[in-house]
Structure 1
Amino acid sequence: MNQESTVPGELDAPAAPAAVPAPATASVPEPGAVTIVVPTFNESANVRQLLRLITESVPARLPCEVLFVDDSTDDTPDVVREAARDCPFPVTVLHREEAAGGLGGAVVEGIRAASSDWVVVMDGDCQHPPSLVPELVATGERAQAELVVASRYIEGGSRAGLAGGYRVAVSRGATWLTKSLFPRRLHGVSDPMSGFFAVRRSAVTADVLKPLGYKILLELAVRNRPRTVGEVPFVFQDRFAGESKSTAKEGLRFLRHLAGLRMESSPARMIAFGLIGLTGFVPNLLALWALTGAGLHYLPAEIVANQFGVAWNFLLIETLLFRERRRHRHWTDRTARFALLANADLLLRLPLIALLAGRFGMAVLPATALALVTTFVLRFAATEALVYLPRKTRTAETRTAETRTAETGAAGRRPEEGRTEEGRTARSTA
């Protein structure tokens, strides 16, 4: 990862202009700075316009710095450096060699690198009006909120900049879906798909975030669970230049991300595990029909057919349920463990039915149903614990690495801990 910092003016110039009293509608009780994080991917045609709009509306009302976290394959970093020379505030370019997590991952990197109490996240295509930045921060200060969302769906807001009925329908559908899946965690957030929001840096635990794609607000709201949320209406503007990054591929990433977030709780994973198990009857029965039709006795045919159901369940569980945990074990290890547990379930179920019916006098049907439920719960718990949870030694190593990373990051982020603007420039250039 390369980071380059461009500070306007001479080296002895102040890092940011003094705050000027803001209008009553956007007054901030406690003067403070804001870091504007702009994730970019090939937005060179929009950079100058965006910095011009920020210059016109933010520094006179609130001290600021701008941090571009860039995943571009074009000349966006060079354009940022050139345009920053005319800005009355610090402008930093953090170029990532690997776009881990997409634009959402870029935002997390920006939050980690921010030096201000407030972080405002906005897109680099000029569809989010920078003039609203002071109002977002002021609303957060007045309400003592940890998160303030610029919303298109409250009074005074508009989605006018969405091009065409298709994008409007997709946006509305995604909003309805996310709020339906997370009614409590998104309570008070009318626009969870917004990419324009302010968050207190102290309220974000970056290590728990697992961004995938560009819907980072959803990730923040669900995983960090801010105690107080505020909203400010905004009008979604037309893109200044370039093309939208909203593609069908990004839509699939969003759905995958949404499924991953929803599957975080054990009850949700257990329900999904059961539904996937039910679908396994289809390949099982098809294989049984084919094998017995070929003349194989039904007992060995069922043993073989069961493996088709096991393989089907394993593929779905790997893809839909435990995708993020696959890295903890090699695929051959996971496959062998899963197959062993699935077949052990079959071997355990028959003796359990015999015990319930013979020893406790239960009828065959309820005994079978109770055995199915019991072995299902045991198989789910065993699959999660023995196949997809990390090994203890690996967990310890990961925690140690995370602790070192957190200590290193904390040592270099806060200006009050001795990082001057000149010091930041030297460190970044190095």
Structure 2
Amino acid sequence: MSMISVVIPLLNEEQLVKRLLKELWVALEKTGEAFEVICVDDGSTDSTLQQLLKFKEKHEHLKIISLSRNFGLQPALTAGIDYAKGDYVVIMDGDFQDPPDLVPVLFEKIKATGADIVSAVREARNEKFTKRIYINIFHHIFGRLTGGQQVEQTGNFCIINKKAHRAMLQFSERNRYLPGIRNFIGFKHEFILYDRPDRTEGDAKMSRRKLFELAADAIYSFSKWPIRFCLYLGLLGVLIFFAAIVYTFASKILGLAPIGWSSMFLAISFFGSV
């Protein structure tokens, strides 16, 4: 018998956490496999942690990791993945937008195909229009900058086997972008399609600022273009500085430069190039 670990990050989800766990339990029992559910409380300020502790009283397979403060989605996922002991690890969001009844579908797919990773691709998104626009732009830019490493419309929702799990644990970055790592490690990857629903209860925890920060972390971690851009910009600055030297000396020789202008102009050019 295999063991399935399910990792769920939670932040102020008191309105839905109990229903989420109940539906997830039903879905996991359908697999006929042993399982553990690892809920990572990411510094919730409501009753999320208390509800988890109460649910655990009757469900020994629930494991709880309580972080000392709000570290963010990806660090919370990382904490759960590091703790997981299963032969297969399911990663899903804790806002009910990753349907619990798809967990057995992911498990059957990875068993049937012999894949190392099965990701859920969002065929349709029933979220706010502005959020869909932001996410579509990010996926497009990230795909272009990373040479297509990221499969568009995939998020955290997936199942990985032991081999892929061990490989993901080798990445020690503080801000790990897990969908990027999942594609970067290069193992056999399969997909299922699903319609991603909007939240039915509670408010979205990923603000516009957090979405932009996540996008920046992802691009800096998996694309060479930010470094190249800085390098090219620095080289351009150096060329401008040397051109300024030539221009300054030529101006002094021809007597065209005002007194004190040369040193000021060179200083500005030098520090600008740095």
Report the TM range for the smaller structure's normalisation.
0.7 to 0.9
Which structure has the highest helix share of the two? 1
1:79 paired to 2:51:
yes
Structure 1 unaligned residues grouped into runs of 5+: 1-30, 314-430
Question: What residue in structure 2 maps to residue 67 of structure 1?
Answer: 38
Which structure is larger by alpha-carbon Rg, 1 or 2?
1
**CA deviation after TM superposition for structure 1 residue 142, in Å:** 2.1
Match of 1:217 among 179, 182, 186: 179
Closer, same or farther: CA 252–116 of 1 in aligned 2, 3 Å: same
Q: Letter of the 1:95 partner, please give it.
A: S
Where do 1:43-192 residues align within 5 Å? 43-61=13-31, 62-74=33-45, 75-87=47-59, 90-100=61-71, 102-153=72-123, 158-160=124-126, 162=127, 164-186=128-150, 189-192=151-154
Match of 1:205 among 141, 161, 168: 168
**Contact in 1 for aligned 2:168/2:181 (Cα 8 Å):** no
Q: CA RMSD in A?
A: 2.9
Question: What residue in structure 1 maps to residue 236 of structure 2?
Answer: 278
Deviations 1:164-183 (A, max 9, x none): 21112112212212222223
**What is the alpha-carbon distance in structure 2 between the residues aligned to residue 140 and residue 93 of structure 1?**
26
Question: What residue in structure 2 maps to residue 228 of structure 1?
Answer: 188
**SS of residue in 2 equivalent to 1:185:** coil
Question: What residue in structure 2 maps to residue 296 of structure 1?
Answer: 260
1:244 paired to 2:223:
no
1:195 paired to 2:156:
yes
Q: TM-score, normalised on structure 1? A: 0.54
**What is the alpha-carbon distance in structure 2 between the residues aligned to residue 207 and residue 293 of structure 1?**
59
Higher RCO structure (Cα 8 Å, ≥6 apart): 2
1:253 paired to 2:193:
no
Q: Letter of the 2:11 partner, please give it.
A: F
Q: Letter of the 1:195 partner, please give it.
A: N
Closer, same or farther: CA 278–184 of 1 in aligned 2, 3 Å: same
Deviations 1:268-287 (A, max 9, x none): 734531134436859x97xx
Q: TM-score, normalised on structure 2? A: 0.82
**What is the alpha-carbon distance in structure 2 between the residues aligned to residue 49 and residue 294 of structure 1?**
77
**Count, aligned residues:** 259
Closer, same or farther: CA 302–129 of 1 in aligned 2, 3 Å: same
**What is the alpha-carbon distance in structure 1 between the residues aligned to residue 196 and residue 95 of structure 2?**
11
**Contact in 2 for aligned 1:43/1:125 (Cα 8 Å):** yes
**CA deviation after TM superposition for structure 1 residue 216, in Å:** 2.6
Deviations 1:367-391 (A, max 9, x none): xxxxxxxxxxxxxxxxxxxxxxxxx
Closer, same or farther: CA 149–249 of 1 in aligned 2, 3 Å: same
